[in-house]
Amino acid sequence: MATEQKSPPVQSAQPNDFARGLAGVVAGRTAISSLDGDLRYRGYPIHALAAGGDFEEVAFLLLHGELPSQAEHAAFSEGVRASAGSLIATPNPAMATDGASMPAVIAALRGLADICPTASPMDALRTGVSMLGQVELDQIPGTREALLAQAQRLIGQVPALLGAWMDLSAGRSVDPWPDGSIAKALLQRLTGRTPSATHVAAFGTTLVLYAEHEFNASTFAARTVVSTGSDMHSGITAAIGALKGPLHGGANEQVLEQLCAIGSADRAEAWVTEQLAAKRVIMGFGHRVYKDGDVRAKLLGKMCREMVRGTAAEGLEDLADRVEQIMLDRKGLKPNLDWPAARIYHALGLPVRVFTPIFVVARMSGWTAHIIEQIGDNRLIRPMSIYCGSPARDYCDLAHRG
């Protein structure tokens, strides 16, 4: 007779035996990226990928584990473009569900834009991805091949959703998706003009730098959702909700708002002093993981300065430099990626309300890679807590409570 297999007893946590915000807690393993000394995607240093790779190449790497060949890069890029281009395609019953899904979703978003055109683009993306999951009947995870195909579609569909929402919320008809890379096409859709090669390169670099960052809050949210056996679209919907917060993705929008509030470099000292005295968080500085500065901020900060040299935007860079020095002197804090990214997006002529949605576009590659990894070697994510409420007490029924 076989003996019964019992789970080991649960160890009770002590009152102070926990890490607030899971700081420093190792919650799992990943082969997608590492932050040990330097940020690497699948073993490749971020500075090399930012300098030499485009977003599609990096997305392929994150999903498949290897850099694409020329043929693989072309096929992947074409698949992403086709998914984006299906945005306003006429629904055709003969088409596969992934081709027919986007027009239905855009029709629903059009109704939402009519009701509330000032809604956050982050809410529109969260809602759009959720509707995509329903239209595509994404109920349980499929095979690895099916998940990779879903990921490729989402990498194309989400920037198209963003472009469509900006049209719909402004009362315009939805423009077709332009030709070219995600960086070129999305920048064109969001600014309404054909971007220069320099601007495409700068924008593409931000997408590469934002693409992946290990077990951050939104990625962990996505992995937690699919660890229950749920589907990719549900995981992405949760991730977008997590990224919306100002302590995560929403920080890049607040960076520009801060710089505009300061106005000029000569006002920086007084402004920082006031914020620190009021114990307000100054967005764009410090990082839970990086203690000696965010390598991504160093790369993008240099690019930003070079891009705006000789333009009116140099004044904003002078202001940013002054705030950086004050924060280093006063608090010992260095910039994170949001600090230069906000200035790059402003220099590119992008409205502030799309800064965080652009983060979604980039991180779609990392999120989907983590979802696939979690599903491939899954265990339900279920941490414990320490109870700090009332002590044990007896129940008194309603009739005797007066």
Which residue numbers are catalytic?
287, 338
Element (H, E) at 45: strand 44-45
Q: Is 204 exposed, middle or buried (0-12, 13-18, 19+ CB in 10 A)?
A: buried
Cβ 167 vs Cβ 173: under 8 Å? yes
Nearest to 184, CA basis, from 290, 61, 54: 54
Give the Cα separation of 129 and 121 in Å (integer): 12
Per DSSP, the three-state class of 179 is coil
**What are the structure tokens assigned to 280, written together?**
């307000």
**What are the structure tokens assigned to 271, written together?**
């402004």
Give the Cα separation of 381 and 228 in Å (integer): 8
Give the Cα separation of 96 and 233 in Å (integer): 18
Give the Cα separation of 366 and 349 in Å (integer): 26
Categorise residue 229: left if φ over 0, alpha if ψ from -120 to 50, beta otherwise: left
Cβ 176 vs Cβ 185: under 8 Å? no
**What are the structure tokens assigned to 60, written together?**
């392929």
Q: Cα angle at 394 between 390 and 398, to 5 degrees? A: 105
Element (H, E) at 40: strand 40-41
Per DSSP, the three-state class of 238 is helix
- Rounded to 5 degrees, φ, ψ at 312 are -65, -20
The strand pair at 40-41 and 44-45 is best described as antiparallel
DSSP state of 174: P
| Sign of torsion over alpha carbons 320, 323, 329, 331 | negative
